[in-house]
């Protein structure tokens, strides 16, 4: 009997990570997910859980290897902060960079060094549209997410000889509780009205892009930052 494909999801409890986890579980993948908090109680979730804080560094090797070899990995963890060039704090800035970028690089290096990835594995990092479109008071977040573009471009060249694909997915503000907490109703209305769709990007659209990029159907896309934003980043209604 052919074994199930296995996926490792960093940040399995966030809006995107949780939806990715549920999608791949429904597709009958073997799912391992990380969380800052303790794992789910036995019987409440079919996923295998690893406790991991991205600001504190990568999880232990013994934890990472529980579901290997991984056919796919998705990094959906991260940190956010509101700051600007006028008021940023170096220590907090470094924490955001560590969680959003350095953590991806460190865990990827561990997975490669320990041969925990399948041949032709598909890797996806969740970035943000804000790495391409500037908004006020998001200096550290934008800088850390912008670095993801360089990471996937560089890594795609270095990993090609191993047959490994790596891409980023860049969502805009999503239809999610987090958006409602972090943006005002007026801000949400402006973003929703920035294109002819008149709504925010659904989480399911982002998950669909991740699913494709992590699947064997993806035979030619690597080193790319794929925008999923209903056209927000290029639309100018006049």
Which residue ranges make up each domain of the chain?
A: 6-228
Question: Sheet harboring 6-10: ordered strands across?
Answer: 48-51, 30-35, 6-10, 70-75, 117-126, 165-171, 225-228
Instruction: Assign 204 to helix, strand or coil.
Output: helix
Give pLDDT, residue 187.
Answer: 86
Q: Are 190 and 135 in contact (CB under 8 A)?
A: no
For 21: left if phi > 0, alpha if psi spans -120 to 50, otherwise beta; the answer is alpha
Give pLDDT, residue 109.
Answer: 93
Quick one: average pLDDT of 125-142? 92
Give pLDDT, residue 44.
Answer: 53
Q: Residue 41: is its pLDDT beyond 50?
A: no
Q: Residue 78: is its pLDDT beyond 70?
A: yes
Give pLDDT, residue 65.
Answer: 67
Q: Give pTM, 2 decimals.
A: 0.92
Q: Residue 143: is its pLDDT beyond 80?
A: yes
CATH of 6-228, one of 3.30.300.30, 3.65.10.10, 3.40.50.720, 3.40.190.10: 3.40.50.720
DSSP state of 83: B
Q: Lowest mean pLDDT: which of 53-57, 161-165, 222-226?
A: 53-57
Q: Residue 31: is its pLDDT beyond 70?
A: yes
Q: What is the pLDDT of residues 188-217, one digit of tens each?
A: 888 889 888 999 999 999 999 999 999 999
């Amino acid at each position: 009997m052919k074994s199930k494909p296995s996926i490792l999801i960093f940040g399995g409890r966030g809006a995107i990570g949780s939806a990715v986890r549920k999608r791949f579980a429904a597709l009958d993948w073997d799912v391992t997910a990380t969380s800052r908090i303790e794992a789910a109680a036995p019987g409440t979730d079919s996923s295998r859980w690893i406790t991991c804080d991205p600001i504190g560094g990568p999880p232990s090797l013994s934890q990472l290897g529980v579901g290997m070899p991984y056919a796919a990995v998705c990094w959906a963890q991260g940190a956010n902060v509101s700051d600007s060039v006028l008021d940023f704090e170096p220590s907090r800035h470094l924490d955001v960079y560590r969680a959003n970028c350095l953590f991806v690089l460190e865990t990827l290096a561990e997975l490669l060094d320990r041969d925990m990835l399948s041949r032709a594995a598909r890797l996806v990092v969740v970035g943000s549209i804000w790495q391409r479109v500037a908004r006020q008071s998001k200096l550290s977040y934008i800088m850390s997410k912008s670095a993801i573009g360089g990471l996937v471009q560089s890594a795609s060249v270095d990993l090609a000889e191993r047959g490994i694909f790596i891409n980023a997915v860049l969502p805009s503000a999503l239809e999610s509780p987090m958006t409602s907490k972090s943006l005002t109703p007026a801000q949400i209305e402006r973003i929703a009205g920035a294109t002819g769709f008149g709504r925010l990007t659904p989480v399911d659209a982002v998950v669909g892009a991740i699913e494709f990029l992590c699947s064997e159907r993806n035979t030619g896309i690597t080193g790319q930052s794929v925008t999923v934003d209903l056209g927000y980043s290029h639309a100018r209604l006049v």
